Amino acid sequence: MDEQTSIHRRKLLEFFSASPLLAPSAARALAGIAAFGTTEAVAQSYDVLRAAPVMNGDLIASPAQALNVFDFEPVAKKELPPAHYGYLASGVDADKTLKANRDDFDKIHVRARRLIDVRKIDTTVKIFGETWASPIALAPVSSVGAFHPEAEAAAARACKVKGHQMILSTVGSTSIEDVIKERGAPVWYMLYPTDDWAVTEKLVKRAEAAGAPAIVLTVDRQGGRNTETLFRERRSDTRTCTDCHTPGFKNEVSRKPMFDDIDVSKVTNLYGTGMTWDYVKRLRGIVKGKLVLKGIMTQEDAKIALTHGVDALIVSNHGGRAEESLQSTIGALPEVVGAVNGKIPVLIDGGFRRGTDVLKALALGATAVCVGRPYVWGLAAFGQPGVEMVLTLMQREFETIMRQVGATKLSEITSKSVRIV
């Protein structure tokens, strides 16, 4: 077929594909046929394959229809009561730090390499002697039962199916014993210490007895916070919130199974207000396994953590809801990595939505990343299958960008894989 004939055929097919009488799926198919014999052929054939299944309306009706993790959020918003969605969506003050967590990924460009055989890649990473299938883990999220009745149990089963690690929150809706049972393997335990040392000890002992290899102390919630988005969304919630939420710490944790059979009568706050480095030293004295600090954002604190025998750090601003600092976690990562100088693993959370985000963090020295809101969107929208698809999409995107930078294993993702602009 000569070039002129090809041009005429393509124009004819493009005319038909633009017709309002033609079904959208047929139009997409014709667009692919029109591209045969042109440089657009491969790209168009991929687009046709990604088109199914057909959607009715703007919201996905099944996990299989999702093109990326963002597709789950509007479905979650539709499914959840306004106050519950507000809690999930809220940052602090004007949500500028929450936004910075996302925006600052755009300041890091990926350097693509060519002519490297990347047909086989390995995404495993070893942390504390355990091999993870992927550097993508689930971050701790509080009160997951507010988003789906199966709560962390469904998330744990998704992690088992897809091969990911997860961290359970102290105020999760599922006990650590049940989460480990559903995942079929140990999970990390995130500790809110409270201001009663006796309670702290019991929480740590229970988590370690269940098999948790790491205790993750959250240190970024001592100053209080102003969650305006939550307060705004709550205004439109017609339910009586006091039916579930009543004043007092005992009532606050009455539906949190990790506090079962623990005397909380002396507790006045969950976050251990007044904690200092002496507290970390004291905690190090009772934690038999690994001790991780979550919420470190500066090189100064990272260096002090090393002197206190901490085994790993998680760079975190609580998903943009700890303080309105405008400091993103991806922006803080390099100085924390530089401070520890390879002595301990550095993980990170905050704003991770794409596989490219994961690669950028690893290129800047992170050992692994933790994902919070996206998995809860998937859970709220579709339960366990939603969480599975969120993990599938992020892992698929991560593997794709690994190939584009010419990395066949995580150790080949280096500072040369990105450029900060």
Q: So which residues are the catalytic ones?
A: 318
Cβ-contact 327, 307 below 8 angstroms: no
Task: Report residue 349 as tokens.
Answer: 């959370």
Separation between Cα atoms, residue 216 and residue 283, nearest integer Å: 11
Beta bridge partners, 109, equal 419
Per residue, what are the HEC states of the chain? CCHHHHHHHHHHHHHHHCCCCCCHHHHHHHHHHHCCCCCCHHHHHHHHHHHCCCCCCCCCCCHHHCCCHHHHHHHHHHHCCHHHHHHHHCCCCCCHHHHHHHHHHHHEEECCCCCCCCCCCECCEEECCEEECCCEEECCCCCHHHCCCCHHHHHHHHHHHHCCCEEEECCCCCCHHHHHHHHCCCCEEEECCCCCHHHHHHHHHHHHHHCCCEEEEECCCCCCCCCHHHHHHHCCCCCCHHHCCCCCHHHHCCCCHHHCCCCCCCCCCCCCCCCCHHHHHHHHCCCCCEEEEEEECCHHHHHHHHHCCCCEEEECCCCCCCCCCCCCHHHHHHHHHHHHCCCCCEEEECCCCCHHHHHHHHHCCCCEEEECHHHHHHHHHHCHHHHHHHHHHHHHHHHHHHHHHCCCEHHHCCHHHEEEC
Separation between Cα atoms, residue 101 and residue 141, nearest integer Å: 17
Cβ-contact 105, 330 below 8 angstroms: yes
CA angle 303, 224, 261 (to 5 degrees): 90
Separation between Cα atoms, residue 87 and residue 142, nearest integer Å: 10
Neighbours of 416 (CB within 10 A): 11
